[in-house]
Amino acid sequence: MTEEKLTQIFVMGKAYDVPAGITIMDAMEYAGYRFVRGAGCRSGFCGACGTVYRKDGDYRLEFALACQEMVEEGMHLTQIPFTPAPRSDYQLNELDAAENVLLQHYPAIARCVSCNTCTKACPQDIEVMDYVQAALRGDLKRVAELSFDCIQCGLCAMRCPADIKHYHLSQMARRLYSVTESPEPAHLTARMAELGDGAYDAELDEMMSMTLDQLKQRYAERVIEKEGEAL
């Protein structure tokens, strides 16, 4: 039998030998830690498992998602299940998109020094600094487009020397853009009309009566719509 290769990591300062080639989350659970907070989708991409680590011989702190990043020899780890970042209160229907409401609600963006630390911290490789600059110009569409894949992990805000709440800023921009500038998608309008007319009621009733195994089979046999293709 081939001997399992182990690598040494440190969790909250304590050393553990864990299997090589597994994620930080799996390694911490192998070491006996139980995730009560900061686990989320467990190997999906929800942003709940923010992790801070430093590697032996490296002066820099690194940030990642525990369910995505693989363990490396000499990692010193700790978990950050929540990033304290206040969100501005607003009502979308009371905002005037013609004004730079992003700057009004998140004035810290004016302190951006263009260090690009936020972009480097993003596990989604989003151009965070670029959308902050777009927010300063009041360009809702650009902020919404650049931040579309944001998963709200908060690692950008944690690294920012200007204390900008990037992910709350971008969420506000996407919401405001969707109700003021984004064109109404024809396929969504059509689907909502179908739902209102009861086009799927019989199928839903059928699925509600299925066993778990039948549902799994139905899911496995589903037809996956390709991008740009209408079913």
| Same domain for 54 and 132 | no
| Same domain for 104 and 193 | yes
| Same domain for 105 and 42 | no
Residue 205 lies in a domain: yes
CATH of the domain at 32: 3.10.20.740
How much is the CA Rg of the chain, to the nearest whole Å?
A: 22
| Same domain for 61 and 138 | no
Task: Determine which helix (DSSP H) or strand (DSSP E) holds 207, and give its type and residue range.
Answer: helix 201-208
pLDDT at res. 140? 93
Confidence of residue 231 (pLDDT cuts 50, 70, 90): very low
**Other CB atoms within 10 Å distance of the CB of residue 102:** 27
Residue 87 lies in a domain: yes
CA pair distance 97, 200, nearest whole angstrom: 37
Residue 229 has pLDDT above 60, yes or no: no
Residue 224 lies in a domain: no
Domain boundary among 64, 79, 94: 79
Number of domains in the chain: 2
First to last CA, the chain: 50
**Other CB atoms within 10 Å distance of the CB of residue 52:** 15
| Same domain for 33 and 144 | no
| Same domain for 74 and 95 | no
Task: Determine which helix (DSSP H) or strand (DSSP E) holds 79, and give its type and residue range.
Answer: strand 75-79
18 φ/ψ angles, rounded to the nearest 5 degrees: -130, 160
CA pair distance 16, 169, nearest whole angstrom: 39
Domain boundary among 44, 79, 114: 79
Residue 228 lies in a domain: no
In what side-by-side order are the strands of the sheet with 62-65?
Answer: 14-19, 6-11, 75-79, 50-55, 62-65
| Same domain for 36 and 94 | no
Residue 3 has pLDDT above 70, yes or no: no
Residue 109 lies in a domain: yes
Q: Is residue 42 a contact partner of residue 67, using CB atoms and an 8 Å limit?
A: yes
**Considering Cα of 117, then 121, then 126, then 131, what sign does the dihedral take?**
negative
pLDDT at res. 83? 81
Q: Which domain holds residue 95?
A: 83-214
Residue that the structure tokens 């996956």 belong to: 224
| Same domain for 102 and 34 | no
Confidence of residue 56 (pLDDT cuts 50, 70, 90): confident
Q: Tens digits of per-residue pLDDT, 147-181? A: 999 989 899 998 899 999 999 999 999 999 988 88
| Same domain for 97 and 25 | no
Residue 1 lies in a domain: no
Residue 222 lies in a domain: no
pLDDT at res. 50? 87
Q: How would DSSP label each residue in 143-159?
A: HHHHTTT-----HHHHH
Residue 45 has pLDDT above 70, yes or no: yes
Sort residue 125 into left (φ over 0), alpha (ψ -120 to 50) or beta: left
Residue whose C-alpha is closest to residue 83's, from 56, 108, 49: 49
Pair of tokens at residue 158: 């944690």
Q: Express as a percent the part of the chain with pLDDT over 70.
A: 96
Q: Tens digits of per-residue pLDDT, 69-104? A: 999 999 999 888 778 888 999 998 888 887 889 999
Residue that the structure tokens 């998602």 belong to: 65
Domain boundary among 46, 64, 79: 79
| Same domain for 100 and 62 | no
CA pair distance 18, 29, nearest whole angstrom: 10
Confidence of residue 209 (pLDDT cuts 50, 70, 90): very high
CATH of the domain at 189: 1.10.1060
Residue 225 lies in a domain: no
| Same domain for 60 and 48 | yes
Q: Which residues contact residue 149 at a Cβ distance below 8 angstroms, ignoring those fewer than 6 apart?
A: 124, 126
Residue of 147 and 224 predicted with greater confidence: 147
pLDDT at res. 171? 95
pTM of this prediction? 0.73
| Same domain for 117 and 91 | yes
pLDDT at res. 1? 43
